[in-house]
Structure 1
Amino acid sequence: MKILVTGAAGFIGSAVAARLVEAGNEVLGIDNLNAYYPVELKRDRLRWVENTDGGSQFRFQELDFARNDLLVEGLRSKDFDRIVHLGAQPGVRYSLENPHAYIESNILGHLNILELARERQIDHLVYASSSSVYGGNAKIPFAVDDRVDHPYSLYAATKKSDELMSETYAHLYRIPQTGLRFFTVYGPWGRPDMMPWIFTSKILNGEQIPVFNHGRMQRDFTYIDDIVSGILACLDSPPEDDGSTKPGGSVAPHSIYNIGNNRPEELLKVIEIIEEACGRKARLELLPMQQGDVPRTFADIDAIFRDLGYAPSTPVEQGLPRFVEWFRRYHRVSDA
């Protein structure tokens, strides 16, 4: 297949691009390489993709999909059959500081990708949503047919808006689409603004780590390889356009799935695993709950298991030490 991957220099986007070219697909990756976190990490990811088996099938183009004029012109001569739309402005906390970035990238950008899919008559558009859409849902685990009308952050609101826009385009233009609600993704090549990176860095440097809600937090941590496997399983299985109404009120051809580990972990347990992998004890700075955050996440993955046979296979006891090992290697941190 010929596949367009947005956010190709990002954490999940680069991992998806690498797996796709390893499987023999042609991949065009686009990313605007913004400075939300160090651009050099994004460039290093791109070099990693280019050096994987099949990396010669990967092409990268620096391009901002939130600028529709640039997107249309930049892709005018490019061919692709499917789109994996993973580019976005991420981060719950940063959305409190720079809300306009989220509207531009996550709302206008998603609309531009939908229009691109409509004009090109794309076979399947798989796009990233987020577990953040569940807000403060008291019911656990979070299921795809739960109501998600009370987001706790602007980031969550933009992701819910993406799902609604995709529903509309699936209904009006019969574009097969699958939205994926990711649950706390971590692993090698991860993001510096996420907890595993922050905690690992601070523990290795002997600094205090911020522990919100005094450690009374649970997260459904999902290893990057499991996320990629779920994305590719969905990409190969576009929803059928039979005109029926599916569970949760989703009109074909549009499906929404959770991708999580189906196993919430206590934050303090996760810190202990990272401590052991680092070979050092953490210094904890116990803090109140941060605005926009939620106390727990827990993915119900029955729908994606039923439809696609997908199930994660990496517990945090394996995944977190792998991340710490990669982190040491990437930053040239010795075991001493």
Structure 2
Amino acid sequence: MKIPQRLRLGSAIVLLGTATPGAALTTSTILQSALSPDCLEYRVVGICYWLHCSSSGCRVRTSVKVRHYVPDAVVSSYSNTGDTPWGEVRAMSLPNPTAQAGGDGTTNQEHENNLAKFKNADVIGHPGAKLFSQFTAGFGYRCDGAGTAFMPYLLSTLDTLAWRYNLPEAAYPEALTPGLREIGSRSTLNLWGNVYPRGGFLHQADDHKAGAIVAQRAGDIVTRRGQPHVYQPLLSDARDGYWPAGALVESDAATGKWQPLTPRLSMSCAVFPHDGPLAQARQGDYAWALWRPYSCCKRRGQRFLGSVDFD
């Protein structure tokens, strides 16, 4: 009975999406963006079975298995080192002796269409866990995400060797083989760019697409363990009745999806590439909330016997 109320609340927040390009990103805006039924995508997907034993004997109990997305992190992609669009966390990624400046390549020739770009990236835990918990309470049982509010999982200013020199990933097969690990498709003429090497340099005429590529690269790193970068994994461990999100894969919504936060807020989520107008940031700074899928069910016994999915 509470679901319609939550849906109306999320619909009201859509009005925030009318913010003009270039508006500053604040923690308050990020908190409100978590109230998105479209990004949440709450579903009942199966049944879990538990063995419950007491002094009177043992019996099998069941609980509903649910699946939904959780806003794990805010991923910023920006041109000028130290100028992340999320103002309250700017002190986390200030310039240092190994990471300064940034921006696009140019030879100052007006006739030249220079595609070389550089962008920094930050992956910081989404601050809306408490508000998100209240929002999802109306839907039923909810799953915990992997992110911790305001926790820095990747700051490119501390990842200088890999982010600015592409070492060692410049020599990886994924970086040298056309068609491998790319965002989009050549066959559909909608190729945004390559995931590897996962650094800040790329060639892309559209600045919004360039920002999205760098955000995808950052998300790719933090959702895997043992990568040659300076970062913290954004991962949870599986346990009885809990199936956490795994590695983020480009263009695959089943592994994660993106909610634009700035320069224009949206209450919908999508994967890269996607159709529709792309808002251009005046300062080359962009931010997305990374939503990832989790499945879980309520514990109703001492031993987990398994689960059955409807699909």
Fold conserved between structures, TM > 0.5: no
Larger relative contact order (CA 8 Å, sep ≥ 6): 2
TM-score (norm 2): 0.24
TM-score (norm 1): 0.23
Query: Would you tell me which structure has more helix in proportion to its own residues?
Result: 1
